[in-house]
Structure 1
């Protein structure tokens, strides 16, 4: 195996490396086993973990020291990831980070990156983690789901699919909210696939996740500082850069810091048709989240309220049930009341698809031409 790994490190094809390093008289089963190991190592992991990530039903793999769980859409299930002890878990995390092109060691014990193939990595080493090495892997679906797919599986209940199409067609600015794993990126990618082919989409992200089926979509990716603390490229930097790229649609993968000021400025200065996601417990919590993020950029609550109410036409909130079912549960409209930002409910939906309209529906319907 060592000879095979050396050949792989030199850039040799895994199949050739496995064959060239096989001892005389070695059977086909041994060569096949070596080949599986080499292909997994190319991806920064060992075969047991690679097999979990290759399962098309798996959306998340979570490793806490020697314990591992996967989510196949119905909640977490305990599995064997081939991690024997804490030292093995640490080696696995460092190997995954290296394959992602990011640093992970005692000096920088937290890492975020993207593995070959698009799997998103988050890793934390002890003693920053009091539970041993922690590895979180988010698997992006290889199949691009469209609006009709999301409607068929209940993510877009009732008239929400029609509303989503109208939001895109009318070039509304939309904020998609929800918890981690609620399906924000999937919904965003499906919506952007509806953008006319003649328009340019510029996506700004921490790591590449948004993947619309669109012929003209470019990505700008945040960069962390190097070991000397230099070379950082922030989301705020990228928003400003994107505005000079003639974007027909400006998209922020996640609004989580002072870049909210630049996004609101862009959406208030003619860059309509923009989309962004934000973490929130409900549509009614979005104003408080925006105010908190605006404060990081030195914006007053009054300034955030004025800009957000003017810039954002609709808030789509996603929920995830314990069963794994995800759906748009609320649609809201941001308004100003006595100088504060509020979210008026336009539509709500239950997990079983029952849709109810509310007081803000009439104004939203007029805005998008319904």
Structure 2
């Protein structure tokens, strides 16, 4: 399979043909078959040499005129060759979408319906697979290369594309319309703290607070829905971890991009075709505890690993970070409690609540608004009062009355006069003068 750096076509791909789509699909299949036949006769053809492959296809396409229903012009020939090479790259009809930096998600609903998310809005594209078999071959190439199976016995699979993008596929009998594929794009460009502030995602005061909290080893949970910016914020604030500390990251599929000199990335693994070999997130959290980790970062907690994560935070791994799907800070407490009790049913609720309140100090809530913008909407500290775990807002996003329904306007404000975390941070020997000053100054910048 080619790397993107070997692509001999410009990112601005040729996508207009004078040939009807059905005929282009037929010709593409003919050219593909001709290439396979030619490979049988010439073992010197190497698919990983795109220049030679293009030359080979140019020769083969000239042998097709007798099978064409109308002549091909130079542009049609170039497009046909491009599509065949993209098939061999394993990207097929979505290759052009994968080159678009504005695309964050690609959603394939059967062979003839492909949607993308750009700037927070879903749009249907003109791309399509030829048929169900074409879509299944596309999935087989990706899945089999990673030693996984997608069939009636294993109708769901998670995989990763060559560029790091995350793929999830479901096939019949679980889905009646055919194979359904969700691809979360992996963008290699680094999102800086300055970018988050200038875009209005976060205020400088909140960023300063999180910087002080991370340096001081405060445990932080970032909550929000899918695509709300949890991972982006986690990547940025993890950059505040001192370079002298050892960081171990734990994920199902690697998405974190930590800019730190001492990072050990761990990824979970599903079962193989025989149902063996699974390594869960919980297994990896336990492993990380034996690897002399100063900080443990779990990309997202969604199961029994919550209990082990809370234990780790209580046993000397200060400054751990994670994300969770939740709609508001109080829901974070409820969700963590539910996940922990699902795995450890024998432990009573009060014990779980005590673990949460003594482990999690800060909850950051992020949200994606209907205009596609993403923002931090609240930062809360977790406190224990009268045997009840509560969240106390420190910063909030105050939305302004709507004048433009296509654009959300508001401001990040400080909603507390003091922060109990200051005492914990001061007890660790850190200067809290700048931290305390944040709660006497309000940032009213409209964003």
Deviates more, 1:136-145 or 1:193-202: 193-202
How much does 1:343 deviate? Answer: 2.1
SS in 2 for 1:343: strand
SS in 2 for 1:349: strand
How much does 1:59 deviate? Answer: 0.3
Change (3 A) 1:9 1:72: farther
Residue 225 (structure 1) aligns with:
271
Paired residues of 2:361 and 2:382 also in contact (CA < 8 A):
yes
Deviates more, 1:93-102 or 1:305-314: 93-102
Paired residues of 2:146 and 2:159 also in contact (CA < 8 A):
yes
Paired residues of 1:99 and 1:116 also in contact (CA < 8 A):
no
TM-score normalized by the length of structure 2: 0.76
Structure 2 residue 408 is matched with structure 1 residue 362: no
Structure 2 residue 96 is matched with structure 1 residue 54: no
The one of 28, 38, 49 equivalent to 1:13 is: 49
Q: Distance in 2 between matches of 1:104 and 1:8?
A: 32
Change (3 A) 1:142 1:25: closer
Change (3 A) 1:104 1:163: same
Gaps in structure 2 of 5+ consecutive residues: 1-31, 63-72, 400-408, 426-431, 436-447
Change (3 A) 1:101 1:226: closer
The one of 78, 82, 88 equivalent to 1:41 is: 88
How much does 1:203 deviate? Answer: 0.3
How much does 1:160 deviate? Answer: 1.1
Q: Distance in 1 between matches of 2:190 and 2:178?
A: 36
Q: How many residue pairs were aligned? A: 368
Deviates more, 1:96-105 or 1:268-277: 96-105
Change (3 A) 1:81 1:339: farther
Change (3 A) 1:330 1:367: farther
TM-score normalized by the length of structure 1: 0.91
Residue 395 (structure 2) aligns with:
347
Paired residues of 1:96 and 1:115 also in contact (CA < 8 A):
yes
The one of 57, 63, 72 equivalent to 2:108 is: 63
Root-mean-square deviation (Å): 2.5
Structure 2 residue 193 is matched with structure 1 residue 147: yes
Structure number, greater radius of gyration: 2
Gaps in structure 1 of 5+ consecutive residues: none
How much does 1:101 deviate? Answer: 4.4
The one of 61, 83, 106 equivalent to 2:129 is: 83
Paired residues of 1:346 and 1:364 also in contact (CA < 8 A):
no
Q: Distance in 1 between matches of 2:362 and 2:245?
A: 21
